[in-house]
Structure 1
Amino acid sequence: QYLYIDYVFQRFTLTISFSLSVSLSLSLFLYLSAPFSLSLFLSLSLPPPSPGIDWAPKSDRIVTCGADRNAYVWSLKDGVWKPTLVILRINRAATFVKWSPLENKFAVGSGARLISVCYFESDNDWWVSKHIKKPIRSTILSLDWHPNNVLLAAGSCDFKCR
């Protein structure tokens, strides 16, 4: 059992997310802040456990990843959040996810000692995963994009940043 608290700053409002995992279930609650009040904005049930979550503020999409070795891109359509499965093609749990600055792709770190960079292929209407297998010798714990939307920094368990 664990409690995970995160916060996300959207373009126009402050959004706070609380994730609570109890007995292999994970729920994500997003609260929209207004002056002097909080209101429930979104409640999702995610595959357990889901340690990675990131919100794209411009396109208003959420990406999650977890122990099921897949990622989900959540899009708001007609007032309902719809998940789209992204097959990462990894053999260990996904640990971290991060949208790129232009929000046209995202990167997923994993225990498989590789980084999956995913982008949407509109011809086939699905998310494609490409692997970066450079000499990474341990689990990826953090990722961050350079503002140019091309370079990617990765922090791993062996105290190295690549």
Structure 2
Amino acid sequence: MATATPPAAATPGEFAALLSQEESAIGQFVTLLQQEQAALTAGQVDSLDALVAAKNPLVQQLNRIADERRYLLQVAGFTNDRAGFHGYLEAHGTAEMRAAWERLQSLAHQAQELNGLNGQLISQRLQGASGALQVLLQRHQAGSGVYGPDGQKQAGTGSRLIDSV
């Protein structure tokens, strides 16, 4: 009966490569969030679909990388959280890995802030659209047409110019 061999502990080089992948992916994500914010600010809602379509694979990639990092930490005997990664860096990390981790943390913080601001911009846009829709619905309910579907004259439209004709 064969016994399962435990997975080999990850080398610092594997962790460095993983950090590099994560830093690249989150940098791309931040760029897309900045483009999203510019589109929202300028009212260019047509470009949002393409930005969302570009963000989704990056989110999946970031999740995959985070899962791999957690697995490598466990295999190396550390907890699979930030504290575990800090412990790994203290025990096996290089100056380059520590610098990459700091850059990664900064980018993650930037992404979190941008995402929150974009959420606020979207909320404001939705409130504005909802308010405009309410105004249109109220006008429609008050009798906004000169003639109804049956061809008969409707009650006043609220416009003196049209109602005086």
TM-score by length of 2: 0.16
Name the structure with the higher strand share: 1
Which is richer in helix? 2
Higher relative contact order (CA 8 A, sep 6+): 2
